[in-house]
Structure 1
């Protein structure tokens, strides 16, 4: 393997490592203490933000991440037409940050 190829591989590995450091899944056993401390809103309230945006949809998956110094609640939905949606919600404020149709 030549030097250029090795450098490219090392660079890609560094980018992957730094990306992983910017977004960490919050372990489930820490979620309740974040809610109790008022750091994030209750999961029921955050789920409601998503279902208010898509009233006929069903939540299929959720995930809480600590990303760029803030908590992001990621919600996957499937609407009545079978369309899938990904929503990112600020877990502290409840603000809808992004919405994307799959």
Structure 2
């Protein structure tokens, strides 16, 4: 492999890890349309699914993004001990994709 090709691939991979390449935030109008079309669940249901992972926590922030041709709903939580959590869900099914403690 040429050095030029290697640099190109390395650059693309590093950008992908930062979220610059693959994620686009979904605005309120588009989210409402997706909900009406039955492509995503209500944010209330998705928030409840995230809170079920951390009973007693509070929702700090939410975000719906289009990633890799699909959608991901992210909920940032703070539990009763003050620990921050990020829960990613499939907005169509409500299944938890990732549940991780924030640094």
TM exceeding 0.5: yes
* Aligned length in residues: 96
Aligned-pair Cα RMSD in Å: 2.2
For residues 48-78 of structure 1, what are the alpha-carbon distances to aligned partners after superposition, in whole Å with 9 as ceiling and x for unaligned? 1011111110000000001112110000000
TM-score by length of 2: 0.81
Aligned to 2:97: 97
State which structure, 1 or 2, has the greater radius of gyration over its C-alpha atoms: 1
Detail structure 1 runs of 4+ shifted over 4 Å in the superposition: none
How far residue 8 of structure 1 moved from its aligned partner, in angstroms, is 5.6
TM-score by length of 1: 0.82
Residues 61/17 of structure 1: CA separation in 2 closer, same or farther (3 Å cut): same
Counterpart Cα distance in 2 of 1:53 and 1:17: 28
Gaps of 5+ in 2: none
